[in-house]
Structures are given as C-alpha cells and as structure tokens.
Amino acid sequence: AQSVTQLDSHVSVSEGTPVLLRCNYSSSYSPSLFWYVQHPNKGLQLLLKYTSAATLVKGINGFEAEFKKSETSFHLTKPSAHMSDAAEYFCVVSSGGSQGNLIFGKGTKLSVKP
Amino acid sequence: DGGITQSPKYLFRKEGQNVTLSCEQNLNHDAMYWYRQDPGQGLRLIYYSQIVNDFQKGDIAEGYSVSREKKESFPLTVTSAQKNPTAFYLCASSIEGGRTDTQYFGPGTRLTVL
C-alpha cells in the first residue's frame, strides 16, 4: 500500500533563509509524487510533480524537490523564503493501479517571519 | 477562463438536513473527485468518477452521495447519515484519472452544521 509521511507539522523560517519541508513515502511500485500548496481557505495549487523522469524536479515560485529512491524521500526546498510562501504544504503520492487517486500527507504549515 | 468552480463558498446546515455542494469544470476533464479536509488530517477521498454515469467510493464515502450525469458536473450530497459533516470540501478534476495525471482543485466549500 502507498503512504506518505510529512515529518514536520509546522516549520518556521525567517524571510530570505532557506526552506526545507520533509516528506517520506512508501510505495510498492515506482510512485508519482506531488507537492501542493494551500493558502488559508483556498483550494490547492500544484507546485511540482515527479513521474519517473528527472529526479530533481523544479516547480513554480522557486521551489524544487528531489526524488531519492534509496531514502524514499521527496523533500521540498527553496533557497530563499518570501513572506508570500507562508501557507500549508501537502506531499502527495498517487495510490497506484490505473486510477489517479491521491494519498495526502497531513500537511506542513510554513510560517515566514520578517 | 478555464477552471473548477464550487458553490457556495460557505454553507450552513441544520442537523438532519441533506445539502448538495456544487462542482463544475470547463477543462474538458474526464475524471472528477471529492475530498474532505479536516484540520491536521490532510485530504481524504470521498468519491471519484472517471467517466459520465459512473463513480466509485473513496475512503470515507459513508453518509455521502454523488451523481455524474454530465461531464462538467459532479455534485456531492451530504446526507443526514453523515455523523460529522462540518468540514472543508474540495472538488478536483484531472484529464483521464491516470496515476500520473495532475489534479486541479476548486476553491472549496466550507460546510458548517449548526
């Protein structure tokens, strides 16, 4: 069965410092992995996705994530945080089979201090 | 503008009443999904549909019902059998419902039971 674990429920950084949001996954096959961002009371927006091509995936707003099969990780990073990055971030794995059902982590809330 | 619309944004319901949440998409996507979001829980799949006139239960379908009479529309009914319906409900769609497909999300409906 597929599962995903976000290792931090809350991360706080200062503006201009790096961001690291950690995600580990479990999958019995080659997974599709996604990072979504959600601002308060809004829908989810796709940041980036991995689907077995390049292991370093670049997304929108300067975010990127690296797929590491040996560590079963898909951590999200950004070199320099901006105030507008404050939001909740979800790591997601596709559930497998021919269907695209997604399994969501519980989310990491990112706070950015001025 | 192409996208997914959900209405209403906020919905209040008395206990014992059924209520229907609207989801419409003009992306020409085959697959549509309903998720429920509770604080600290991530998103959980209620129902999904990969084609008109067909839909499948997700992980937490009890107390909910759906229909898919048109490709563009996937309404969700929260019935009086749902024991704890207060939550944020998100609708999504994807091109075919395959496991590498990106799901695009609507802005959500916040349901409160009084």
pLDDT (tens, 9 = 90+) of chain B, 114 residues, equals 569 999 999 999 998 899 999 999 999 999 999 999 998 888 999 999 999 999 999 999 999 999 999 999 999 999 988 889 999 999 999 998 887 889 999 999 999 998
State the average pLDDT for chain A.
Answer: 92
Q: Do B50 and A99 touch (CB under 8 A)?
A: yes
Helices (H) and strands (E) in chain B, counts: 0, 11
Number of domains in chain A: 1
| Domain of A80, in residue numbers | 3-113
Using a CB–CB cut-off of 8 Å, the residues of B that contact A are 4, 6, 31, 33, 40-45, 48, 50, 58, 88, 90, 92, 94, 96-108, 110
Instruction: Return the pLDDT at B40.
Output: 81
Average pLDDT over residues A65-86: 96
Q: What is the reported pLDDT for B37?
A: 94
Q: What is the pLDDT of residue A27?
A: 83
Q: Which residue has the higher pLDDT, B21 or A2?
A: B21
Residue to mutate among B30, B56, B60, B103, with most A CBs inside 10 A, is B103
Give CA angle at A75 (A72, A78), nearest 5°. Answer: 160
A42 touches chain B (CB under 8 A): yes
Is the CB of residue B44 less than 8 Å from the CB of residue B58? yes
Q: Which of B42, B90, B98 lies at the smallest CB-CB distance from A98?
A: B98
Question: What pLDDT was estimated at residue A96?
Answer: 66
Alpha carbon separation from A52 to A67, A71, A76, B88 (Å, rounded) = 9, 16, 17, 32
Q: Do B48 and A32 touch (CB under 8 A)?
A: no
Gap between the Cα atoms of A50 and B92, Å rounded: 19
CATH number where A40 lies = 2.60.40.10
